[in-house]
Chain A
Amino acid sequence: MASFNLKNICISLSKLRIGHAVTRSHSNGPRYRPPYWFASKERVMTNDYLTQENKQFVEEVMKDKMKVQAELESPLANNGDQSIQQWAPTTRRVGVIARKIGNYPIWSKDGKKMLATLLQVVDNHVVKYIPPEEFKPMKTCKVNWREKRRLGCLLVGSETIDPSTVTKDYCGLFDSVGMLPKKHLCRFMVSPEAVLPTGTPLLATHFRAGDYLDIRAKTIDRGFQGVMKRWGFKGMPASHGVTKTHRRPGNIGAGGEKARVWPGTKMPGHMGNRWRTLRGVKILRINTKHNVLWTLGVAIPGETGAMCYLYDTILPLRKLKSSPPFPTHPPADDLPIEYYDESIHPYDNPTVTYEEA
Chain B
Amino acid sequence: MALAIRRTSDILCAARWLIRRDCRVLSTLPEKAEISQEVVVRRPAGRRPIANEAVLESRHIYPEFLPDPNPDWRNSLREKLERADMLKRRSQIDIPEFYVGSILAVTISDPHAQTKTTRFVGICIERKGCGLRAEFTLRNVVDHQGVEVRYDLYDPTIQKIQVLRLEKRLDEKLLYLRDALPEYSTFPFDMDPEILPEGTPVPINPVQVKLKPRPWLEKWERQELKGVSNIEEHLKGKDRIRRELRKTPWEKYDLMKQYRKTIPIEDQSEIWAEVHNQLQQLQLSRKKMARKRTFTAPKPQLG
Direct contact of A and B (CB under 8 A): yes
Q: Hey, which bits of chain A sit against chain B, CB under 8 A?
A: 101-102, 104-105, 107, 110-111, 113, 118, 120, 287, 290, 292, 303-305, 345-356
A-B CB pair tally, cutoff 8 Å: 77
- Among B78, B92, B133, B157, which residue has its beta carbon within 8 angstroms of that of A105? B133
Interchain nearest-CB distance for A109 vs B (Å): 9
B89 in contact (CB, < 8 A)? yes
Q: Chain B residue with minimal CB distance to A291?
A: B77
Contacts of A102 in B (CB 8 A): 73, 75, 78
Contact A353:B75 (CB < 8 A) given known A345-B156, A347-B88 = no
From the candidates A118, A305, A346, A353, name the one contacting B81 in the complex (CB within 8 A): A118
With a cutoff of 8 Å between Cβ atoms, the chain B residues found around residue A351 in the complex are 92-93, 109, 156-159
What are the residues of chain B within 8 A of A348 when measuring CB–CB?
88-89, 91-92
12 more contacts with CB within 8 A, not counting A287-B81, A290-B81, A347-B154, are A101-B78, A111-B109, A111-B156, A120-B77, A304-B73, A304-B74, A305-B75, A347-B92, A351-B157, A352-B156, A352-B157, A353-B116
A347 and B152 form a contact (CB under 8 A): no
A-B contact pairs, 8 of them (CB 8 A): A104-B132, A105-B133, A105-B154, A304-B72, A304-B75, A345-B156, A347-B86, A347-B88
Tell me whether A354 and B109 are in contact (CB under 8 A). yes
Q: Report if B82 contacts A (CB, 8 A).
A: yes
CA distance A347 to B110 in the complex (A): 19
Chain B 59-75: CB-based contact to A (< 8 A → 1; otherwise 0) = 00000000000001111
Task: For the complex formed, measure the closest distance between the CB of B164 and the CB atoms of chain A, giving whole angstroms.
Answer: 20
Question: For the complex, what is the distance from the CA of A290 to the CA of B81, rounded to whole Å?
Answer: 9
Residue of A nearest to B111 (CB): A354
With A303-B72, A356-B116 already in contact, the answer to whether A347 and B156 are too (CB < 8 A) is yes
Residues of chain B contacted by A356 (CB below 8 angstroms): 115-116
Does B155 have its Cβ within 8 Å of any Cβ on chain A?
Answer: yes
> Of all chain B residues, which has the CB nearest A100?
B75
In whole Å, how far is A294's beta carbon from the nearest beta carbon of chain B?
A: 9
A111 and B111 within 8 A (CB): yes
Chain A residue nearest in CB terms to B113: A354
| B281 shortest CB reach to chain A, Å | 15
Counting CB contacts under 8 A, is B122 at the interface? no
Docked CA distance A269–B251 (Å): 36
Interface check B192, CB cutoff 8 A = no
The answer for the CA separation of A292 and B78 in the assembled complex, in Å, is 9
For the complex of A and B, list the 6 residue pairs with the smallest distance between their C-beta atoms, beginning with the closest. Answer: A102-B78, A347-B88, A348-B88, A111-B157, A101-B75, A101-B78
B131 within 8 Å of A (CB atoms): yes
A353-B159 contact, Cβ under 8 Å, with A118-B78, A347-B89, A348-B88: yes
Contacts of A305 in B (CB 8 A): 75
* Closest B residue to A110 using CB positions: B111
B239 sits at the interface (CB 8 A): no
Contacts of B274 in A (CB 8 A): none
In the complex, what residues of B have CB within 8 A of residue A352's CB?
109, 156-157
Select one of A347, A353, A354, A355 contacting B85, CB under 8 A: A347
Q: How far is the CA of A66 from the CA of B24 in the complex (A)?
A: 61
Interface of A is mostly: loop
Closest to A287 in B: B81
Inter-chain CA distance A348–B84, complex, in Å, is 10
Least CB distance from A290 to B in Å reads 6
Q: A104 to B82, alpha carbons, bound, how many Å?
A: 8
Q: Are B73 and A107 in contact (CB under 8 A)?
A: no
List B contacts of A107 (CB < 8 A). Answer: 155-157
The complex places the Cα of A305 from the Cα of B77 at a distance, in Å, of 11
B158: chain A residues within 8 A (beta carbon): 351
Taking the closest CB of chain B, its distance from the CB of A50, in whole angstroms, is 31
| CB-nearest residue of chain B to A112 | B157
Least distance between B65 CB and chain A CB atoms (Å): 13
Which residues does chain A contribute within 8 Å of B111, judged by CB atoms? 110-111, 354
Q: Which of B103-140 contact A (CB under 8 A)?
A: 109-111, 115-116, 131-133
Which of the residues B82, B91, B92, B109 comes within 8 Å of A353, measured between beta carbons? B109
In the complex the two chains form, what is the Cα distance from A290 to B154 in whole Å? 23
A110 to B82: give the CA distance in the assembly, Å.
21
Complex: A350 Cα to B93 Cα, angstroms: 8
Nearest CB on B from A341, distance (A): 15
A348 to B89 Cα, complex, angstroms: 6
Q: Are A350 and B81 in contact (CB under 8 A)?
A: no
A350's nearest neighbour on chain B, judged by CB, is B92
Whether B89 contacts A101 by the Cβ 8 Å rule is no
Query: A354 contacts which of B110, B131, B155 (Cβ < 8 Å)?
Result: B110
Within 8 A of A (CB), among B30-65: none
CA distance A113 to B156 in the complex (A): 9
Task: Report the nearest A residue to B93, measured CB to CB.
Answer: A351
Measured between alpha carbons, how far is A176 from B201 in the docked complex, in Å? 67
How far apart are the CA atoms of A348 and B86 in the complex, in Å?
9
> Contacting A349 at CB < 8 Å: which of B74, B78, B92?
B92
Cα distance A303–B75 in the bound complex, in angstroms: 12
Complex contacts, B156 vs chain A, CB 8 Å: 107, 111, 345, 347, 349, 351-352
Out of A104, A113, A355, which one reaches B78, CB within 8 Å?
A104
CA distance A305 to B72 in the complex (A): 8
Across-interface contacts of A104 in B (CB, < 8 A) = 78, 82, 85, 131-133
Please report which residues of chain B, range 211-244, place their CB below 8 angstroms from some CB of chain A when the two chains form the complex.
none
Chain B contacts of A105 at CB under 8 A? 132-133, 152, 154
> How many Å lie between the Cα of A105 and that of B110 in the bound state?
19
- Residues from chain A with a CB closer than 8 A to the CB of B72 are 303-304
Beta-carbon contact of B81 and A354 below 8 Å: no
Give B79's nearest chain A residue, CB to CB.
A102
